[in-house]
Amino acid sequence: MAYVWRAELLKGGMSDPTPEQIGQLSLAFERFTRRFKVAEASAAMENALNALDVQALLFVNEHPDCSLGDVARNLQVALTTMSSSADRLVRREMMERQRHEANRRTVALTITPKGKEAVAGYMAGYRDACRAMLESLDPAERAEFVRLTERIANYDR
């Protein structure tokens, strides 16, 4: 069996995942997700933000001067839902709306210093969760796990 898989791999083809592998991965990702949700919830409690607001802050931090539509598309929410989230973040002084000089009808979102502090807290929580996962692996396994995780994260059908 391993020989067939290796031969397919060497030819450039890959076999389909088995139902057992899919089940195992589903359970593992459920545990991963739970760890990240706990880390996010802990940081969110400090800032009293909901999950959507946290994700919006993270996106705007990575994409300064993005539009409300950009954030809504990326987070896969309705524009009205995203607008409400942006309103909350603006009221909390974590985000700003600014008109583009070239097109005054377009509004760009930027993160404020207070928003950057919140993002730093969330990222610290995420890093702590990642550290806890990696600590259970030896150095070679860590390198392989990170490599494979990046490959999966960047896979686009």
pTM assigned to the model: 0.70
Predicted confidence at residue 133, as pLDDT, reads 84
Look at residue 112 in the predicted model and tell me its pLDDT: 98
At residue 141, does pLDDT exceed 70?
A: yes
If DSSP codes are grouped into helix, strand and coil, which group holds residue 107?
strand
* Alpha-carbon distance values, 106 to 18, 65, 89, 98, 101 (Å): 48, 10, 19, 8, 9
pLDDT recorded at residue 76: 95
The CA distance from 86 to 96, in Å, is: 8
Q: Give the pLDDT confidence of 40-96 residue by residue, as tens digits.
A: 666 666 677 888 999 999 999 999 999 999 999 999 999 999 999 999 999 999 999
The tens digit of pLDDT for each residue in 4-53 reads 444 444 455 578 989 998 899 899 888 878 877 776 666 666 677 888 99
Task: Tell me the CATH class for 30-153.
Answer: mainly alpha
Phi, psi dihedral angles at 110 (to 5 degrees) = -135, 155
